Amino acid sequence: MSRILIVGLGLLVTSTAWGEWERAAEVATGVFYNQDSSLVVMSATARSRPFLGQNSYYQLNAGSWGGPYAASFVGFAKGLQWGRSNMYVRLSSGGSLISATSERLSTSFQFYEQLMVHRRIGSRGGVALSYRHWSNANLKKPNLGMDFVGLQIDIDW
């Protein structure tokens, strides 16, 4: 799993072949039952064709959370976006592979959701407040999940 994380992070940071992908870094703190955890995420987001009549995008994520349930992850999500070009809300859902199971997440495959409020700053970047949740949709017990609230900074290049 560490090789997947290293490759994923390398692609997020160095790829110029992807065209106009928005790269972002996020730091977050655990909420609800995992308040003693912290999260670091690198992501790349690309616009896609409208879906269900809304602006949409694809997102690749790689990162890790620390604390008593520490794990690394890579993931892929599809999302919808509402708002204007300078301020918008995003809602995404997808899948992640995690490096370690625990009493909170009992399977290596986890579903992933994110709700984000984003504000553009200038023409090539922005900041966002983000809520992220991982769980396995009760495919296997226990399924307490991991939840984080974070601050994201992004740059387009």
| Closest of 104, 100, 97, 93 to residue 30, by C-alpha | 104
Residue 157, pLDDT > 90, answer: no
Domain count, the chain: 1
* 71 and 105 Cβ atoms separated by less than 8 Å: yes
Residue 4, pLDDT > 70, answer: no
Q: What is the mean pLDDT of the chain?
A: 87
The number of C-alpha atoms within 13 Å of 38 and in the hemisphere containing its C-beta is: 4
Rounded CA separation 140/2 (Å): 24
Q: What is the CATH number of the domain that holds 131?
A: 2.40.160.20
* Structural domain range at position 138: 2-156
Predicted TM-score of the model (pTM): 0.85
Per residue in 58-110, pLDDT (tens digit) is 999 999 999 988 999 999 999 999 998 899 999 999 999 999 998 889 999 99
